[in-house]
Amino acid sequence: METKNTPVSELEQDILKVLVTEEEIKTRVAELGAEIHERFAGRNPLFVMVLKGAFIFMADLIRETGLRSEVEFIAVSSYENATESSGRVKIKYDIQQDITGRDLVIVEDILDSGNTLAFLKRYFLTKGAQSITIVTLLDKPSRREKSIQADFVGFTVPNEFVVGYGLDYAQRYRNIPYIGVLKPEVYGS
Ligand code: IMP
Ligand code: MG
């Protein structure tokens, strides 16, 4: 493989293997955008992005939907720099508008244990949302602890910790343009 002499190549030295390529992501995000367009045509959904991991996916996805829509952001945490969910979800930054009667589209990077999305779904319904639609770039069904499913899934991935296209390990590797698995030695350092 030809080595690109770009800033990303330094980060890429820590990648063991690529699970989903840049091209595959682009194609799938366009498909999801079209499907979501169909689902919400003529309505005014509120896209709620779960910070920080979904930021690149969200940016690409909403441009592909071509919908008249709005965006909000919410930040939660349950990981605290580990690779396993602690099961407790805390809101660190909340959405800024009344969602009574709104159709919400929650955009997540990955559905893993399900703790985050189970919590958010309940939270938004309590706040008066009319409907909740869940879109996740990645799904790791083998890890589920809560019975929750996404309405739209980009890719189903095996039980491996992944980074890139917004997803981090200890806040790093979000700017790798594809989904990959880190070399084991990276976790030790
Ligand atoms: P859950 O609450 O266990 O479903 O975890 C969801 C959150 O954990 C996601 O929003 C991610 O931020 C993070 N997460 C879970 N698995 C991975 C992974 O493989 N790589 C990076 N982040 C992950
Ligand atoms: Mg994260």
DSSP class per residue in 128-183? T-SEEEEEEEEE-GGG--S----SEEEEE--SS-EEBTTB-BTTB-TT-SSEEEE-
The parent domain of residue 106 ranges over 7-79+88-184
CATH number (domain holding residue 105):
3.40.50.2020
pLDDT digits (tens, 9 = 90+) for 53-74: 999 999 999 999 999 999 999 9
Q: Give a yes or no: residue 51 inside a domain.
A: yes
Residue 116 CB–ligand 1 contact under 6 Å? yes
pLDDT digits (tens, 9 = 90+) for 88-119: 788 999 999 999 999 999 999 999 999 999 99
Phi, psi of 42 (to 5 degrees): 85, -5
What atom of ligand 1 comes closest to residue 168's alpha carbon?
21
CA 53 / ligand 1 centre spacing (Å): 8
Q: Give a yes or no: residue 166 inside a domain.
A: yes
CA 169 / ligand 1 centre spacing (Å): 10
Closest CA to ligand 1's atom 20: 162
Residue 167 CB–ligand 1 contact under 6 Å? yes
Give the span between the Cα atoms of 74 and 90, in whole angstroms: 11
pLDDT digits (tens, 9 = 90+) for 137-180: 999 999 999 999 999 999 999 999 999 999 999 999 999 999 99
What atom of ligand 1 comes closest to residue 157's alpha carbon?
19
Q: Give a yes or no: residue 189 inside a domain.
A: no
Q: How far is CA 168 from CA 83, 95, 174, 178, in A?
A: 10, 22, 5, 12
pLDDT digits (tens, 9 = 90+) for 16-51: 999 999 999 999 999 999 999 999 999 999 999 999
Q: Give a yes or no: residue 152 inside a domain.
A: yes
Give the span between the Cα atoms of 48 and 56, in whole angstroms: 13
Domain count along the chain: 1
Pair 45, 62: CB distance under 8 Å = no
Q: What is the pLDDT of residue 82?
A: 62
Q: How would residue 182 be classed by pLDDT, with cut points 50, 70 and 90?
A: very high
Q: Give a yes or no: residue 2 inside a domain.
A: no
The pair of three-digit structure tokens given for residue 167, joined into one six-digit string: 């997803």
Q: Give a yes or no: residue 71 inside a domain.
A: yes
CA 41 / ligand 2 centre spacing (Å): 31
Give pTM, 2 decimals.
0.92
Q: Give a yes or no: residue 165 inside a domain.
A: yes
